Structure 1
Amino acid sequence: MTAYAIAHLRPNGMNEEIIDYIDRIQDTMDPYGGRFLVHMAEVEVIEGDWPGTVVMLEFPDLDAIRTWYASPAYQEILPLRTRHMDADIIIVDGVPAGYDPRESAAALRRSLAEA
């Protein structure tokens, strides 16, 4: 099932190391089927507080993300980012094709009724 890596990045300014990281990251993702869905987009906050920006990556599955993140190629460039940005990063499975949230709501209602 398609999976996603989502990063909430809070840069401390732009510099050559971050630019080098951006220039090199796609080559580390290609062997694992990764691609950017959101990158370098301006964030519009409509609820709450969101300092910084967001990056969203898509991979074929969670194992592909884990393998990419632990890969020597990515670990080599990772310090180029971590030295200059605070970040919270999560990985998560997507929903299957044809997902309908009403089915989830019905299952939750059944669980509540059985409790």
Structure 2
Amino acid sequence: MSAFAIAHLRPTSPHPDTAAYLDRIQPTLDPFGGRFRVHDAQVEVREGEWPGFVVVIEFPGIDEARAWYDSPAYQEILPLRTRHIDGDCVLVPGVAADYDVSATATTRRAAA
């Protein structure tokens, strides 16, 4: 089951370190099967506020996503971004291909 690294990054001024981060990130993803699914995309806000942009990286599973984030290679380049771009990053498992949202509704209804 796929998992995702999702980042909500706030607007910032360009900095050479962030370009270096972008140059170096793909080799940190490759050993863990990470692939960009959304990058630097302009969001269309439908509810609330969303200053900035979103990044979504897909992994084969949550173990690979965790291993990538914690890897020495990624931890080495991470400050190139975090020193210059404020944001939030989460790792989240996806749902199975046969996921049925109505089963979740039934569980929530029973708990209410």
Gaps of 5+ in 1: none
- Mapped to 1, the partners of 2:62 and 2:37 lie a distance apart of 16
- TM-score normalized with structure 2 length: 0.92
- Mapped to 2, the partners of 1:72 and 1:27 lie a distance apart of 12
- Mapped to 2, the partners of 1:82 and 1:11 lie a distance apart of 13
**What SS class does the counterpart of residue 86 from structure 2 fall into?**
strand
1:28: which partner in 2? 28
1:10: which partner in 2? 10
The sequence identity of aligned pairs, in percent, is 58
Runs of 4+ in 1 over 6 A off after TM superposition: none
Residue-pair matches, total:
112
Contact (CA 8 Å) 2:4, 2:93: kept in 1 or not?
yes
- Mapped to 1, the partners of 2:107 and 2:70 lie a distance apart of 36
2:80: which partner in 1? 80
- TM-score normalized with structure 1 length: 0.90
- Mapped to 1, the partners of 2:22 and 2:11 lie a distance apart of 13
Contact (CA 8 Å) 1:11, 1:84: kept in 2 or not?
no
